[in-house]
């Protein structure tokens, strides 16, 4: 049995692939009102604006490639049972080779009917208003909006409580319940943070690697590889 290495990632791990983060200086939330483009209220008010926001980000994701932080995480599967829990809606962990990825906030390359949040369909092009699912509901991105339930949080807690090692990469820990996952770590589990600017986090027993994700993962590999 390989030790369980649980990784919680955020937008920072995809930054070096050219995808914008949310709260950095040039972040997405600088240019958009979260509630207009990523909430049920925004969808009610102007669904086309919401579709356009995700259609644009989907094009960016498809044009991006995994970076070495993604691929090194996949390489760790040689020695560890690696479980990725990501807040990201891109597919760069999967394209980087990770085999167990749990998306807390959905996946931009999937769509679903507004009437059913479990029947998922792949999507590689724009979703248009008027494009209906077989159940007659309007197609929308399979993404968790602010104010919507994070249905994957329970499976994520079940992963975190089993961690033998924990790594936090590229998240400001601003958004709950994702940020609260760190509270479920068993005491004494070795824990690492890789971030270009280490976020405030409770507890002083973290091994801090204050570097961009690609450099930080190269350093972590030296510490963890067998």
Which positions lie near ligand APR, rule CB under 6 A?
A: 10-12, 15-16, 21-24, 27, 87, 105, 170-172, 174-175, 195-197, 199, 212-213
Q: Which is nearer to ligand APR, 36 or 164 (CB)?
A: 36
Minimum Å gap between C-beta 2 and ligand APR is: 26
Q: How far apart are CA 214 and CA 226, in angstroms?
A: 20
Q: Which is nearer to ligand APR, 83 or 105 (CB)?
A: 105
Number of other residues whose CB lies within 10 A of the CB of residue 202: 8
- b or e along 134-155 (b: 16 or more beta carbons within 10 Å of the residue's beta carbon)? eeeebbbbbbbbeeeebebbee
Q: Which is nearer to ligand APR, 64 or 133 (CB)?
A: 64
- b or e along 83-113 (b: 16 or more beta carbons within 10 Å of the residue's beta carbon)? bbbbbbbbbbbbbbebeebbbbbbbbbbbbb
Minimum Å gap between C-beta 53 and ligand APR is: 12
State the residue number with the nearest CB to ligand APR.
12
Minimum Å gap between C-beta 25 and ligand APR is: 10
């Amino acid at each position: 049995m390989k030790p369980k290495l649980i990784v919680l990632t955020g937008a920072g791990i995809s930054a070096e692939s050219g995808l914008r983060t949310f709260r950095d200086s040039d972040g997405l939330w600088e240019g958009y009102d979260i509630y207009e483009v990523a909430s049920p209220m925004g969808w009610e008010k102007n669904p086309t604006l919401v579709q356009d926001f995700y259609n644009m980000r989907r094009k960016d994701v498809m044009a991006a490639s995994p970076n070495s932080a993604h691929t090194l995480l996949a390489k760790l599967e040689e020695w560890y049972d690696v479980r990725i829990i990501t807040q990201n809606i891109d597919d760069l962990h999967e394209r980087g080779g990770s085999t167990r990825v749990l998306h807390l906030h959905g996946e931009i390359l999937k769509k679903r009917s507004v009437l059913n949040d479990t029947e998922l369909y792949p999507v590689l092009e724009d979703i248009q208003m008027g494009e209906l699912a077989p159940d007659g509901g309007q197609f929308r991105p399979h993404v968790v909006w602010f104010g919507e339930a994070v249905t994957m949080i329970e499976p994520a807690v079940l992963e975190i409580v089993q961690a033998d090692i924990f790594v936090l990469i590229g998240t400001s820990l601003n958004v709950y319940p994702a940020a609260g996952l760190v509270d479920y770590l068993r005491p004494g589990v070795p824990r690492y943070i890789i971030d270009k600017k280490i976020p405030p986090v409770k507890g002083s027993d973290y091994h801090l690697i204050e570097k961009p994700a690609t450099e930080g993962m190269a350093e972590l590999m030296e510490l963890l590889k067998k």
